[in-house]
Amino acid sequence: MQFSDIQSQEKTIDILQKMVEGDRIPHALLFTGPQGSGKALLALALANYILCTNKGKDRCGVCGPCLKANKIIHPDLHFVYPVIKKDGKQRAETLSADFIKEWREFIQGNPYGTLENWMNFLNSQTQPNINRKECTEIIKKMGLHSFESDFKILYIWNAESLGKEGNSLLKLIEEPPEKTVIILIAEKLDAVLGTIQSRCQIIHVGPLSDAAVHAQLDAYELTEDKKQEIVHIAEGNMNAAIALVEDTKETVSTEILDWFRIAYKNDPVQLVQWVNAISSIGKPAQKRFLSYGLFFMKEYLKLLYTSDFSNARLSAEEKATAEKMARIIDTHKTEDIAAMLEENLGYLARNANSKIVFMEMSLQLEKIMKSKVEQLIN
């Protein structure tokens, strides 16, 4: 959570740095901007910057407060976000703190996530909100001394969720105790209580530039063509871009599994049909198919070695695919398949005939899958 990780928001970052450097931090800031613009990330970077004890133009990243802020465990950085009823508790008694584990995972996994993403993450059908008890707790907490830092920071994510209960916070927002900074984040400014808006310094965050979205897509296994396609559709919304990456992964993982099935069955008619179909999608898409396949086999291999299907860079659908594969494809076979994919990616890059490449790979794949399971110890 540092400014230098955030691209194309230089102007806003400059304003925030100057506030802190000049010791002119407003007591309440409201970050607002369209979905996927990174407003929550900017707000987190600001909170971390304030807490850092060795800051320059950015947080230092290595001091104790930075390490804690980074893990979302700093005792003076309080998070409030809409929640649902916790098992075994009444809704009216449930607080953000009851979901802190889930929240950490959510915000660190995708800081661009929306309320809807958060609902899906919680597997909830009901709309989360920020309740009366939460507001009472906030006022109590902010009245206490800070633990480790000079500052206490209250970070309210999705301030739209503050219904009329939010009015009980007006006095706190207007005149917080000394060295207290209240940071609110909202996608839809007009859905935030007007009484709250008028008491905050509003920080408008614009959509990301195409270059910034493109740069962040480097973290995923995608071809240049696919990246450009996603950048084009996302229009500066990084959350939409991430969703598109997930879609791509899911479709391709199903396609890979289909291919394995067809190769295993070795029905000549079906096989020729499949080879014709993949030959017609064009070189870039074929390369994407194989490079995704290679990525998938490498992640799958890690799963086989650790037998831990919960921990991998794979989506739920991919993990389901991997579990099905585990019955017939062992570590040796996986290594052979990965080597085959890598080699053939090279052939495709050198403009080999794709029909021949995919037909030969399918036959090789069948051979690998049907070979005897070798002993792990020779």
Interaction site with Zn ion (CB under 5 A): 52, 54, 59-60, 63, 66
Q: Identify the bridge partners of residue 155 per DSSP, sorted by sequence position.
A: 79, 183
Q: Residue 209: is it exposed, middle or buried by C-beta count within 10 angstroms (0-12/13-18/19+)?
A: middle
Instruction: Kindly report each contact of residues 326-335 with a partner whose C-beta sits within 8 Å and lies 24 or more positions away, as own/partner.
Output: 328/264, 328/369, 329/260, 329/300, 329/369, 330/304, 330/373, 330/374, 331/301, 331/304, 331/305, 331/376, 332/373, 332/374, 333/368, 333/369, 333/371, 333/373, 334/297, 334/300, 334/301, 334/304, 335/301
Q: Are 72 and 102 in contact (CB under 8 A)?
A: no
Select 63 or 97, whichever has its Cβ closest to Zn ion: 63
Alpha helices in 159-282 (DSSP H): 170-174, 194-197, 210-217, 224-234, 238-265, 268-279
To Zn ion, the closest distance from the beta carbon of 55 in angstroms equals: 6
Considering the complex, what minimum distance in angstroms separates the CB of residue 58 from Zn ion?
9
Handedness of CA 117, 107, 234, 186 (dihedral sign): positive
Shortest spacing between CB 24 and Zn ion, in angstroms? 20
- For Zn ion, the closer CB: 54 or 120: 54
Rounded to whole angstroms, how far apart are CA atoms 156 and 40? 10
* Contact between 84 and 122 (Cβ < 8 Å): yes
Q: What angle do CA 257, 261, 263 make, to 5 degrees?
A: 115
Q: Which is nearer to Zn ion, 105 or 148 (CB)?
A: 148
Q: How far is the CB of 66 from Zn ion (least distance, A)?
A: 3
Q: Least distance from C-beta 179 to Zn ion, angstroms?
A: 17
**CB-nearer residue toward Zn ion: 47 or 238:** 47
Closest approach of Zn ion to the CB of residue 32, in Å = 27
CB of 152 to Zn ion, least distance (A): 17
Closer CB to Zn ion, residue 20 or residue 215? 20
Place of tokens 């993403």: 117
Q: How far is the CB of 52 from Zn ion (least distance, A)?
A: 3
Q: What is the Rg, in whole angstroms, of the alpha carbon atoms belonging to the chain?
A: 25
User: Closer CB to Zn ion, residue 74 or residue 287?
Assistant: 74
Residue closer to Zn ion (CB basis): 34 or 64: 64
| Residue whose CB is less far from Zn ion, 55 or 226 | 55
